[in-house]
């Protein structure tokens, strides 16, 4: 895991963020991708005693898809017994990463085996080639693909009536926005029945620096200027960081959360106080509570952005938090 940290961290908080992302910024504002971050191929799971893994396409014209993680214990359990479904959106600031990125993939594996769940991790298009709301649209399309899917693993082993959306960092932002959209079309998504959202170290922003961002100006993992570049690359052209995709607190509409409340969804907000994005996450949690949404806040002292991906003991703790949250919301047949 230490190699994964080194691959994206800054020896100097003022180093070129584009270079660390593997990008070169061109004069016309486009970028050239120089390299891909390390990936874990599906073949690496061949012969695994605990897990089956496969990649499946969703929309070939957009090159979107999913990586499905199936715990082998599902095959050995009581016939007809199914596992809850966790639909996961990966991190990467909307700009880098994939379902196969090493580190992200380690978290998928832990969630599938430690809990256990059937995990479907969604491959969405990346910015700046495909700016927001492209990732939201792809992930919402993925929900429709799941509900209509004839995939054998999902049909036999996934309990669609106990489904949850989870995302880390930018994936937490996706879970928030896609969850809002999904709450207004629950009938159209049946038999997929979402019970709650898990926003894990969610990536939100704003024009004015927060105290946690100011404390992190010299952070070597995700200094605010690095986050600024991610927003610059991912938001619609001409938008600033107070756009509703980045700073939804400023864009609350009357009745926006009425359907989430009526459905009885809960939202788990998980993070660390030393994360540069902590104040943003806390602000979202407070806004949701003020709007009457049921929020479970799990903010832990210390830490840093991405710790649950980079440090396996923390990964296991996160899995336990997620497991407890999901079990509290599950219904039995």
- Any catalytic annotation for residue 275? yes
Identify the CA nearest to 96 among candidates 40, 20, 147. Answer: 20
CA 235 to chain centroid: 17
Please check whether residue 260 is in contact with residue 186, taking contact to mean a CB–CB distance below 8 angstroms: no
Instruction: Identify which of 289, 54, 265 has the alpha carbon closest to the alpha carbon of residue 151.
Output: 54
**Which of 91, 161, 169, 183 is flagged as catalytic?**
169
Query: How far, in Å, CA of 195 to CA of 202, rounded?
Result: 19
Q: Catalytic residue at 37?
A: no
Q: Is the dihedral of CA 120, 164, 190, 144 positive or negative?
A: negative
Give the pairing type, strands 64-71 and 51-59: antiparallel
| 169 counts as catalytic | yes
Please choose, from the candidates 323, 322, 304, the residue with its C-alpha nearest in 3D space to the C-alpha of residue 1. 304
Task: Find the catalytic residue in 159, 168, 305, 308.
Answer: 305
| DSSP code string of 167-202 | EETHHHHHHHHHHHHHHT-HHHHTT--EEEEEEES-
From 105, 159, 219, 275, active-site residue? 275
User: 126: exposed, middle or buried (C-beta count within 10 Å: 0-12, 13-18, 19+)?
Assistant: buried
* Residue 234 CB burial class (10 angstroms; 0-12, 13-18, ≥19): buried
DSSP per-residue letters across 232-284 = HHHSPTT--TTSTTT-GGGG--TTTTHHHHHHT-EEEEEEETTSTTHHHHHHH
- Count CB atoms within 10 A of the CB of residue 33: 13
Q: Which residues are catalytic?
A: 169, 275, 305
């Amino acid at each position: 895991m230490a190699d994964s940290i080194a691959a994206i961290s800054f020896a100097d908080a003022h180093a070129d963020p584009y270079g660390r992302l593997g990008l070169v910024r061109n004069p016309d504002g486009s970028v050239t991708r120089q390299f891909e971050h390390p990936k874990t191929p599906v073949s690496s799971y061949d012969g695994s005693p605990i897990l089956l893994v496969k990649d499946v396409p969703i929309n070939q014209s957009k090159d979107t898809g999913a990586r499905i993680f199936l715990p082998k214990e599902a095959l050995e359990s009581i016939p007809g017994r199914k596992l809850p479904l966790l639909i996961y959106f990966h991190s990467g600031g909307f700009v880098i990463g994939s379902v196969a990125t090493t580190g992200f993939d380690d978290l998928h594996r832990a969630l599938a085996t430690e809990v256990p769940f059937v995990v479907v991790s969604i491959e969405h298009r990346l910015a700046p080639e495909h700016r927001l709301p492209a990732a939201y649209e792809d992930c919402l399309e993925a929900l429709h693909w799941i509900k209509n899917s004839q995939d054998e693993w999902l049909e036999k082993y996934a309990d669609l009536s106990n489904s949850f959306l989870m995302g880390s960092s930018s994936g937490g932002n996706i879970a928030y926005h896609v969850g809002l959209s999904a709450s207004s079309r629950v009938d159209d998504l049946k038999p997929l029945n979402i019970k709650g959202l898990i926003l894990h170290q969610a990536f939100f922003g704003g024009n004015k620096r927060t105290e946690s961002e100011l404390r992190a100006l010299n952070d070597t993992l995700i200094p605010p200027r690095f986050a600024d570049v991610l927003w610059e690359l991912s938001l619609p052209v001409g938008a600033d960081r107070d756009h509703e995709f980045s700073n939804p607190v400023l864009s609350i509409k009357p009745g926006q959360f009425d359907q989430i409340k009526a459905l009885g969804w809960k939202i788990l907000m998980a993070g660390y106080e030393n994360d540069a994005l902590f104040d943003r996450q806390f602000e979202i949690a407070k806004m949701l509570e003020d709007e009457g949404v049921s929020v479970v806040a799990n903010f832990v002292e210390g830490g840093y952005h991405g710790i649950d991906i980079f440090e396996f003991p923390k990964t296991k703790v996160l899995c336990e938090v997620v497991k407890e949250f999901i079990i509290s919301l599950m219904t039995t047949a």
